[in-house]
Structure formats: structure tokens, C-alpha cells
Structure 1
Amino acid sequence: MSIWWKINIVLISVIVLFGLYELVVRIMMRRAAKIITQEEFQAGMRKAQIIDVRERDEFNAKHILGARSFPFSMLKESYSSLRKDQPVYIYDHNKAVSARAANLLRKKGYKDLFILKGGMQEWTGKVKQKKID
């Protein structure tokens, strides 16, 4: 077998694995939470708990105004400070970590879970941003 065949097999395998990963993330998101647009997020955010599941340094650099930091790496220890009787709006950089966070919260009994479509990456609303000196 030539080297080119081996390279093609590896590339095809990587593409297939990436596709499977995307499929799993989409399934997890649909099972755990409703994906909402930026407009829906902004319309309901006053009545919801907004959590940013990115790591603390990313949150400190820039986050949606009114959001609380719940890094995914610490969510298992800190989720209990969220109220189960209010909607939880979740976002991260794009959406993969949000799906995992929503899945964890759903397993802990939270029902009204919503994920921001496009995450912080596509957010155009109000933010709190660290000033660079």
C-alpha cells in the first residue's frame, strides 16, 4: 500500500470522527436543552439565571452583562447554587461545552435549560469587558 493511500485513509478517518463528534454534541444539546437565538436569549434573560461555562480567565476578560461564572471544570461542585425553579441560560465560546453543562444539569434535575446559539463568539449584545491598560 502506498503512502498516499495511508494518508487518504487517515484523513477520511479524521473527517468521519469529526462528523460523529458533531452529531453527538447536537444530540446531547437537543436532549438536554433548547437552543435559542440571541433575540430569544435577550428577551428572556431578565427572568433567567445566566451562566457562562467558560473558564474563569475567559469570563473575566469578557462576558455577557449579568452572567455568572460557572466554569465547566467546577460545575459539579457549584451547580447547587442555581435555582431549579428558574430558567437557566447557558453559554460558552460556541456551544460544545454548553451542551455538556446542560446535560449535567438535566441529570441533576434542572428542567428549563437553554443554550445560546453561537455562544459568546457570535454575541452582539451588552458585555462587560476587562479594560486593557
Structure 2
Amino acid sequence: MKPYTSIAPNEFLSKYKEGMKDADIIDVREPEEWDYYHLEESRLVPMNTIPVSLDTLSKEKTLYVICAHGVRSEHVCYYLNQAGYGNVVNVEGGMAAVSGLCGFKYD
């Protein structure tokens, strides 16, 4: 059993469109990926900077973690859970899946 939860891209997009109160979207891709396409309400924290960025992440809010295809975000969710963040959610399929639902092709 995974120590974090996952959310389907369509479910995540619905929540995003409704406005995510008491939640942060953490994008763990690299800056060039972020520059290509990102969600307005998200915050860039590249995967390799997570260990030194822990003090900037809220333990009180739900953290939706997203990457390009859902693999890096899974690793970050696991890491955050081990670091004491109890409310982390992996966005399945990452930006490729979410952007596809928005009509934007992300490769």
C-alpha cells in the first residue's frame, strides 16, 4: 500500500477549476518543462530541490504533486510522506494527461 494517495487527471482538473482552497500544486519538473507549459496556480519546485525546499512546503495544506507523466511526482510523494507530510496526492499521468484534457498537446 502506498503511503500517499493518487488522483485521476480528470478529477484533479475538476478540483483545479473549482479553485483549490487549502491546497498547493507543486510542479516537480525542470524549469524548461515549466516554461513550456504549466498550471497558473502551481509552484515550481524541481524534484532535485525538494530536500532543501521542505521548509517552504506546508504540512497543513494538501499538496498535489505533478510532473510530466506521473513518475517523478510519485517519488516525491513518497519522499514527502516519509518526511512527515501526511496530505500528499500524486496527479496520475502528470501534465501530459492534464494538458490533454485542456486541449493542449504536451509531449
Q: TM-score, with normalisation over the residues of structure 2? A: 0.81
Mapping 1:28-43, distance limit 5 Å: 31-43=2-14
Residue of structure 2 in register with 1:131 after alignment = none
1:99 equivalent to 2:74? Answer yes
8 Å Cα contact 1:34-1:115 kept in structure 2: yes
CA displacement, residues 6-39 of structure 1 (integer Å, 9 cap, x when unaligned): xxxxxxxxxxxxxxxxxxxxxxxx5232110123
Normalised by the size of structure 1, how large is the TM-score?
0.66
Give the number of equivalent residue pairs. Answer: 98
Aligned match for 1:87, one of 62, 69, 86: 62
Percent identity between matched residues is 27
Structure index of larger Rg: 1
Root-mean-square deviation over aligned CA pairs: 1.8
Q: Which string of whole-angstrom CA distances, capped at 9 and with x for unpartnered residues, describes residues 62-118 of structure 1?
A: 112210001001111112211101100011011110111011111111011111111
Gaps of 5+ in 1: 1-29, 128-133
| Structure with greater helix percent | 1
Residue equivalent to 2:29: 54
Q: What stretches of structure 2 of length at least 5 have no aligned partner? A: none
